[in-house]
Chains A and B, each alone.
Chain A
Amino acid sequence: MHRRGVGAGAIAKKKLAEAKYKERGTVLAEDQIIQMSKQLETFKTHLEEFASKHKQEIRKNSQFRVQFQEMCATIGVDPLASGKGFWSEMLGVGDFYYELGVQIIEVCLALKHRNGGLITLDELHQRVLKGRGKFAQDVSQDDLVRAIKKLKAMGNGFGMIPVGGSYLVQSVPAELNMDHTVVLQLAEVKHIMRSEVRWEPEHLLKEGLAWLDTQAYGDPQYWLPALFSELSARDITPDEASQMVP
Chain B
Amino acid sequence: MNFEWPWQYNFPPFFTLQPNVDTRQKQLAAWCSLVLSYCRHRRIYTLDVMEAQESPMFNHKKIERKLSVEAIQIVFEELRKKGNLEWIDKSKTRCLIMWRQPEEWGKLIYQWVSRNGMINSVFTLYELSNGEDTENEEFHGLEECMLLRSLQALQVESKAEIITMDEGKGVKFF
Contact = CB atoms under 8 A, between A and B. Distances in A.
A63 to B, nearest CB: 32
12 contacts: A114-B7, A205-B19, A205-B23, A208-B22, A211-B27, A213-B16, A213-B65, A215-B65, A221-B12, A223-B12, A236-B3, A240-B56
Contacts of B65: 213, 215
Contacts of B23: 205, 208, 211
Contact of A215 (B10, B20, B61, B64): B64
Interface residues of A, number: 28
Given A211-B23, A232-B7, A240 B62 contact: yes
A196 interface: no
Contacts of B62: 240
B55 to A, nearest CB: 9
A233 interface: yes
A216 interface: yes
Interface string A217-246: 000011101001011111110001101100
Contacts of B7: 114, 230-233
Given A215-B12, A225-B11, A236-B2, A113 B26 contact: yes
A153 to B, nearest CB: 31
Nearest to A222: B13
Given A114-B26, A215-B65, 11 more contacts: A114-B7, A205-B23, A208-B22, A212-B18, A215-B64, A223-B12, A231-B7, A234-B4, A235-B2, A236-B2, A244-B56
Chain B interface residue count: which class? 20 to 34
Given A208-B22, A243-B56, A215 B3 contact: no
A130 interface: no
Contact of A211 (B4, B16, B56, B64): B16
A243 B2 CA distance: 13
A106 to B, nearest CB: 19
Contacts of B3: 236, 244
Contacts of B131: none
Contacts of B12: 191, 213, 215-216, 221, 223
A63 B14 CA distance: 40
Contact of A212 (B5, B16, B22): B16
Nearest to B16: A214
B83 interface: no
Contact of B11 (A205, A206, A222, A228): A228
